[in-house]
Structure 1
């Protein structure tokens, strides 16, 4: 889907014509095989009722996906849920018809294969195995297909993750992330919860066992703590700044209300001591008052000749 979109973006010509190109391609296919048009829900119902031939099922299975990709990738209007569900239904119907021909005495309803196929394909494509099980229970009005759907969902989920590992577009939804910890929307909530757990104990770098917290602060905004009385922030050391090639003791003696918690150097996390030297490119994790944070930011960005300093007690962690 998204590779098709990238392909259309690379094509020469005005963007306003590209949806028309996609529509023309889909229209030509639809002239020969009209079922590729629309959401496909009607064909899903026919598949459940056993009113589709194997040829129709296979044609829908192999054509619906590409037509969805061309429609949306070219800039046309459409969604991904209904076509994906239709693909799963056709896959389940094809499997059910095959089993019926190979094992005629098994006598399982074709609708069961259709529902399980829908659940498995969407579970893998969208990486939503649990919510898809709920969908199965709602569609069937019972729990008779929960176990086979669960097995199919888990299999599809594991296989999809293995096949798309390292892929640029691993799921059906481009903005989908691995977990809440990776979501920018939940970033501040998770960090605040982590800080609440540390609130009763002095924040010492030797006790910092929060690699996810560190990764969030590498690129995030300062996190307010104690109702805004302080911040947890990451200070980037710029080349030629006051902090560049300076020890923690020397630099933090110039700032009141700031404590160094950790020095992030590449993939390495250093415990800051008084004689720990900070280098350009380092990120220094600090707990500070708003004024202290502002002063450190100025020291980390200004040249060594432009920042006046005043001596205050050292507050290194």
Structure 2
């Protein structure tokens, strides 16, 4: 099935093309591109759930309805269409993992995960060592992929089965039918030609090569580890290599489940993939997928966490309004009052605010005026504040600080007035950038401040009374 290798990228191209014909936002266009890629992967590997997870963990970097739903619909549709054409059986069946696995095997899964993590370290280092070496060549960069092709050809002379998609090789590894020569050849040659060719700029995938290398690593471990079932160690190591190289342990686990339908291997795969992921995170600053972006001066994070601004409401951090001005007051009069407060050294009074609400005769909000506008006005200016005031950008007590942060960015302001949702809104407080920073400070405290909540205290016994003396 050599044509299946390009299905994910072809699906992404279809999704991108469709998005360019539609009037959508940039984020929606990205979601459609990823949906096409997920559909291609789902159709290629008959793995819809793994394709969705891969889209979330590696491509979207978010979990929102606007991105998840198109990806899920595309992956499921592609899988349903695949069924009548290529069948619904697992792509690599035959490991036959038993219901009962000895506890010693679970312990060795940790060792297999550590080996997969080290392999991830070596493969990543090889890719970027190759890139550095090609950068030193005194030939034009357009010849680099050609040199990478020569390296692939030389590797094929040593181990021909390392070339191509290699589904037959993966199947042999996962069913325990691979010979020692094939295992060593794939583990060494495939790793070398994959790393060196990618470093040359040659276009290449990650999934199929890592399937081969991960399966070969596990098959090599099976030569010394106790027997569990044919292909068991190849299966768990495949999950470990995916978790270590791509730093996507969940995707690696689910991919292996859907490729083999071996549910009994779930816990061993979780152990192996998690151990490999841990080692990769500790030893590698970035994964093979993000290192190139970092070398180009871009930053990409793949850690998912809840925005602290999303969990705090305005009412929790707002500051009550201390000073308001009537719309009919003269601007110069207020200017003189503020300057007098400044000369008197009264920072906690009139000068404590930077944004002053302006109220009309009925006490309703007529607008806002900044402290800077008033301080720099002419003391003789008789213009009513109502004419100087600009429309107020407001917030509501039950809104999240994230909503306010977006509103501040959109309206290019740093302070908002908080008003109630009543038919006749009532002025309640002020919220500013300082409150957004306070929310993040709370989050940092909860993340880094360690304390003991419960303690065990031993009750001291009173010393025995001294004997009475006569």
Larger radius of gyration: 2
| 2:448 alignment counterpart | none
Contact 2:184 2:216 in 1 (8 A): yes
Q: Aligned partners of 2:250 and 2:203: how far apart in 1?
A: 29
Contact 1:93 1:110 in 2 (8 A): no
Aligned-pair distance for 1:292? 4.9
The alpha carbon displacement at 1:134 in A equals: 1.6
- Aligned partner of 1:87 in structure 2 is 213
Deviation at 1:249, TM superposition (A): 6.9
Give 1 or 2: higher helix fraction: 2
Residue from 166, 172, 185 that aligns with 2:288: 172
Unmatched tracts of structure 2, length 5 or more: 1-126, 294-299, 320-346, 355-369, 374-388, 394-406, 415-430, 435-470
Q: Is the alpha carbon distance of 1:81 and 1:96 closer, same or farther for their aligned partners in structure 2, counting shifts above 3 Å?
A: same
Quick check: 1:47 aligned with 2:173?
Answer: yes
Change (3 A) 1:98 1:198: same
Equivalent-residue separation in structure 2 for 1:288 and 1:53 (angstroms): 62
User: Equivalent residue for 1:123?
Assistant: 243
Q: How does 1:117-266 map to 2 (within 5 A)?
A: 117-164=237-284, 167=285, 170-174=286-290, 177-180=301-304, 194=309, 197-203=312-318, 253-255=371-373
Q: Name the CA distance, whole Å, in 1 between partners of 2:215 and 2:410.
A: 58
CA contact (8 A) 1:95 1:113 kept: yes
Secondary structure of the 1:178 match is coil
Q: Report the counterpart of residue 58 of structure 2 in structure 1.
A: none
Report the count of equivalent residues: 212
**Larger mean Cα displacement after TM superposition, 250-259 or 152-161:** 250-259
Q: Report if aligned partners of 2:159, 2:189 keep a CA contact under 8 Å in 1.
A: no
Among candidates 287, 290, 303, match of residue 411 of structure 2: 290
Match of 1:109 among 194, 217, 229: 229
Shift of 1:289: 8.9
TM superposition score normalised by structure 2 = 0.40
Structure 1 residues 15 and 291 mapped into 2: Cα distance closer, same or farther (>3 Å)?
closer
* Structure 1 residues not aligned, in runs of 5+: 182-189, 205-246, 260-285, 294-314
1:56 aligns with 2:171: no
Does structure 2 conserve the Cα–Cα contact (< 8 Å) formed by 1:36 and 1:64? yes
1:254 to 1:74, Cα distance in 2 relative to 1, 3 A = same
Tell me how far 1:142 sits from its aligned partner: 4.0
